[in-house]
Amino acid sequence: MTGSTVRPPAYQQLADELRNEITSGRLQPGERLPPEPELCVRTGVSRSTVREALRLLASQHLIVTTRGVTGGSFVAHPDAAQLADSLTTGLTLLNNAAEIGLADLLELRRALEVPAAGLAAARRTDQHLAEIRATLFDPGLDEVGVMIQAHADFHAAVAKATANPLFELVTRPLYQVECGSELIEAAPDGYWRRIDADHRELLALIEARDPEGATGAARRHLDFVASL
């Protein structure tokens, strides 16, 4: 006896078709999608189904929808921070299922973060420096959550300074997942002062355009984090 195949709902099928057009490049960033009535005629579905498909694509940061006379749904311009959300979700699921641990995250961070520090030192702009500097925190704060987020923001800003959006896309989820580590939340005395000192050293080397020094500082920083 042959098992029956359950067809996905109509809005999902439409969303999949439009997603394929976007990811294949047939629809380019900034390009307007066909109006809702045209999509209804083209696909033979109701307007509510079309709207549900568009809402799904918007939640995945693939399109943006505006209202008004010149409004409509447009293909979104890629944004590393938004696209990283889906990777963060996947890593969080693996982390919660005990499929990966802090050692796994640190291993991947070494592979990405050390060369990223060197690239940031070679390519950074004044704007990049300002963004990195804005993430520095007072290690004397009694708010661990604030310092954990600042730690993630610092490394995301360094990744952005590589001027290679793939670094930001791939590394940002690592810092978000690691932020939830109970080990880091229960860090020993002096941990955050050392983290702050490491960040300031790395910023100074990036500002000085010293790729070799920056990679060494990033490696030492990760050695310290791994020593917990």
Q: How many whole angstroms separate alpha carbon 105 and alpha carbon 225?
A: 11
SS3 99: coil
Separation between Cα atoms, residue 16 and residue 22, nearest integer Å: 10
pLDDT (0 to 100) of residue 8: 87
| Rounded Cα gap, residues 111 and 120, in angstroms | 15
Question: Rounded to an integer, what is the distance from CA 219 to the centroid of its chain?
Answer: 22
Cα–Cα distance between 91 and 85 in angstroms, integer?
10
Q: Phi/psi zone of residue 174: left (φ > 0), alpha (ψ -120 to 50 degrees), beta? A: alpha
3 pLDDT exceeds 70? no
Extract long-range pairs of 199-202: CB within 8 Å, 24+ residues apart: 199/135, 199/136, 199/151, 199/154, 200/136, 202/117, 202/158
Residue 144 has a pLDDT of 83
Q: At what angle do helices 165-178 and 80-96 cross, to 10 degrees?
A: 40
* Average pLDDT value for residue range 213-221: 97
- Domain 80-226 carries which CATH code? 1.20.120.530
pLDDT at position 104: 81
Domains of the chain, by residue range, sit at 10-75, 80-226
Residue 59 to residues 65, 81, 130, 169, 182: CA-CA distances in angstroms? 11, 14, 30, 17, 30
* Residue 180, pLDDT above cutoff 50: no
State how far the Cα of 48 lies from the Cα of 38, in Å rounded to an integer.
Answer: 13
Among 82, 69, 116, 95, which residue's Cα sits nearest to residue 180? 95
What is the Cα–Cα distance from 23 to 43, expressed in whole angstroms?
20
CB atoms within 10 A of CB 116: 25
Distance CA 175, CA 88 (A): 9
Q: Which residue shows structure tokens 């696209």? A: 83
Q: What is the CATH architecture of 10-75?
A: Orthogonal Bundle (1.10)
pTM for the full model? 0.67
Cβ–Cβ < 8 Å for 159, 171: yes
Q: What are phi and psi of 27, to 5 degrees?
A: -110, 120
Write down the pLDDT at residue 17.
94
- pLDDT tens readout for residues 16-59: 999 999 989 899 999 999 999 999 998 999 999 999 999 999 98
